[in-house]
């Protein structure tokens, strides 16, 4: 089973959808998808985990520097485990870590390998193209 594909642009959420976005560890949500996430419940000061109808996956540290891929993978695995125990929601994962030339989909997609086949995790098409080849 292949995962659903996250839309390129998300303007609205259905009642069972959760917006998964890249964040920084101190929870300053002022750029890109993090700013969008604020309208669905992302709270300033919280940089990781579920908030409202969102889920924050850190890709930057407290100084707004890129986390290592190993550190991002830790947070991605926490997210995947959370999604697995909440099948009542569809988690729309955005292109975390790939927005501001931090990392490429080729680097980030493998972090989501254990999400392949999890029916309530939608992934960006660019991630799925990489993952189905692995």
Look up the domain containing 30 and give its range.
19-133
- Whether 27 is covered by a domain: the verdict is yes
pLDDT score recorded for residue 42: 94
Q: What percent of the chain has pLDDT over 70?
A: 97
Structure confidence by residue, pLDDT tens digits, 37-89: 999 999 999 999 999 999 999 999 999 899 999 999 999 999 999 999 999 99
What pLDDT is attached to residue 134?
A: 58
Q: How buried is 46 (Cβ within 10 angstroms: 0-12 exposed, 13-18 middle, 19+ buried)? A: middle
Position 6 in a domain: no
Within a domain: 2: no
Domain contains 73: yes
Segment (H or E) for 127: helix 125-133
Q: What are phi and psi of 28, to 5 degrees?
A: -95, 100
Q: Taking 70 as the threshold, does the pLDDT of residue 1 lie above it?
A: no
Q: Is residue 5 part of a domain?
A: no
Alpha-helical runs (H) found in the chain: 32-37, 69-84, 105-108, 125-133
Confidence at 18, pLDDT banded by 50, 70, 90: very high
Count of domains forming the chain: 1
Flag whether 4 is in a domain: no
Give the CATH number for residue 83.
Answer: 3.40.220
Rounded to whole angstroms, the Cα distance separating 126 from 130 reads 7
Bridging pattern class, strands 54-60 and 49-51? antiparallel
The answer to the question of residue 10 being in a domain is no
- For position 101, what pLDDT does the model report? 64
Nearest to 58 by CA among 14, 96, 115: 96
Distances in whole angstroms, Cα of residue 67 to Cα of each of 9, 53, 97, 102: 25, 24, 9, 9
pLDDT of residue 32: 77
Q: Report percent pLDDT > 90 for the chain.
A: 84
112 lies in some domain: yes
Which has the minimum average pLDDT: 8-12, 21-25, 100-104? 100-104
């Amino acid at each position: 089973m292949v995962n659903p594909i996250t839309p390129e642009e998300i303007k609205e959420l259905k009642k069972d959808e959760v917006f998964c976005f890249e964040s920084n560890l101190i929870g300053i949500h002022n750029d890109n998808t993090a700013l969008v996430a604020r309208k669905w419940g992302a709270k300033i000061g919280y940089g990781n985990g579920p908030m409202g109808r969102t889920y924050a996956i850190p890709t930057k540290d407290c100084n707004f520097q890129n986390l290592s891929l190993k550190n991002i993978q830790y947070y991605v695995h926490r997210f995947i485990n959370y999604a697995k125990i909440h099948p009542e929601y569809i988690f729309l994962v955005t292109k975390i870590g790939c927005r501001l030339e931090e990392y490429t989909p080729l680097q980030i997609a493998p972090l989501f390998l254990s999400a392949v086949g999890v029916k309530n995790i939608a992934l960006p098409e660019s991630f799925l193209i990489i993952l189905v080849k692995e």
